[in-house]
Each structure stands twice: as C-alpha cells, then as structure tokens.
Structure 1
C-alpha cells in the first residue's frame, strides 16, 4: 500500500493519491495558516475510523442476511497534548442503522469491528480509547 503527496500551494494544501489513482486533498485550517481546501490529517483519521468500521459492519450484517436500508455514523475525537503533539485520547462513534436488522446482530457487528477487524481502530488503539454506541431504527441499543 502506497500513497503519494504533492504540495498544491505555498501553504499546507496537499494532494494525496493512492496507487489506484484516487485523490484526496488535505489542508490546514486558516487559523493554522492553511486555506481550508480539504480535511486536516487528524480529520482523515476520524474518517478512516468511520469508513473502516462502516465497511466491517455492513459486511458482517450482509453475511448475516440483515436488511440495511440506511447506515450512518458520527465520529468525534477528543485530543490531549503530549509534548508538542495532540493525539486523540478518546474517539466516540455513534452508528445509526435502519432496516430489518436484529438488535443482537447490530451490536455484535459493531463489537467485532472494533475488537477484531477494523485496522484503523487497531492503529489508533495504543493512544486512543474508542467508545461506541448503536442506534437501530431510532432506539439506542448500547453505549460502550
């Protein structure tokens, strides 16, 4: 797996491209000297957690023949200062699922994603605790 970074302007706007040609723009906020032309690298980490766990959950639920009509997730990170860096200390994920899905299957899919399958979660695990809850058809099932 490889990505290539190219500087786009005189500030912090970068274009990143993977080996398959997909492009993502990254930038810093204006208060940090950027032009806000894309998400920050730390926002990309949260997006990675959302995307990775989302792929896991949908894959698991499809294998269990659950009917998913809607799937969303909100991910929020809390950072703390460690020297000059500010890594994530806690990451909070809320999954919103709709459809003909059994409660235990939705909960198990989330649990398996974070405890076994999600490589992004495993990557941030040494520094951040991931907390999650599942909301199925408007009903909160679990808060972990």
Structure 2
C-alpha cells in the first residue's frame, strides 16, 4: 500500500493519491476555509468505512439485505494534550430493513471486536463504543 502526498498551496492544503488514483484532500481544520478533511477526521472516516464494509458483508453473507445503512462517528480528545489522540470513539449505526436485532448487533460486534483493522489499531488509545438504531428504534446490545 502506497500513498503520494502533494502540497497544493502555501499553507496546509494537500492532495493525497493512492495507487489506484483515488484522490483525497487534506487541510488544517483551523484554517479559515479548509479545503479538505483533517487527518484526525480521516481516521474517523476510516473506522466508519472499515466497520461499514464489515457490517454490510456480514449481513450479506447471512442473506440479509438492508434497505438503508448510515453511520455517525464521534471522536473525543483531551483538550490541549500533545499528542492529541482520540481517547474515545462512538459509532452510531443506523440500519433499515428486515434484519433481526440480534443479527444487526452481532454484525457490529464482530466488526469492532474482530474484523475492522482500523478499530483494532485505534482501540490502543481509544475506548470504542457503539449503538445500533434498527428501523428507527434503538437496539440494546
């Protein structure tokens, strides 16, 4: 795996490109008009994407099709700490469809506890929690 990074202005706006040519813009979130996500936001996007892929794959393998899937991820950091790592990450997963509650929560648990490489890396500094909202209603884990 290889990423190229190129500075695009005289400040902190960067363009990154992977080996397939996919482009992601990064910037310093404290700039007046950031032109991309911050590196820490990208980590939250990474755990959302990684876990999302796992959850969809697990449910598909069980021949359970969703009609909707969304996720909100919130990261907590200690203000002023250096380095300012995430100490807590919470995933709120919204699943719609004819999915049994126990299958939905099991898919989320398997992702975060076993399969999601991003979660396994981030859990070294952050407590990772999750909640499932199935067809608009919270599910107890």
Could you state the TM-score of these two structures normalised by the residue count of structure 2? 0.95
Q: Secondary structure at the match of 1:58?
A: helix
Per the TM alignment, residue 85 of structure 1 is displaced from its structure 2 partner at its CA by 1.4
Q: Secondary structure at the match of 2:104?
A: helix
What is aligned with 1:26? 26
What is aligned with 1:122? 120
Q: Is the 8 A contact 1:103 1:141 kept in 2?
A: yes
In structure 1, list runs of 5 or more residues that go unmatched: none
Q: Is the 8 A contact 1:12 1:35 kept in 2?
A: no
What is aligned with 1:77? 75
Judged with a 3 Å threshold, the aligned counterparts in structure 2 of structure 1 residues 127 and 92 are, in CA distance, closer, same or farther, namely same
In 2, distance between residues paired with 1:136 and 1:35? 37
What is aligned with 1:8? 8
In structure 2, list runs of 5 or more residues that go unmatched: none
What is aligned with 1:46? 44
Q: Secondary structure at the match of 1:111?
A: helix
Count how many residue pairs are aligned between Structure 1 and Structure 2. Answer: 141
Question: 2:93 is matched with which residue: 87, 92, 95?
Answer: 95
Could you state the TM-score of these two structures normalised by the residue count of structure 1? 0.93
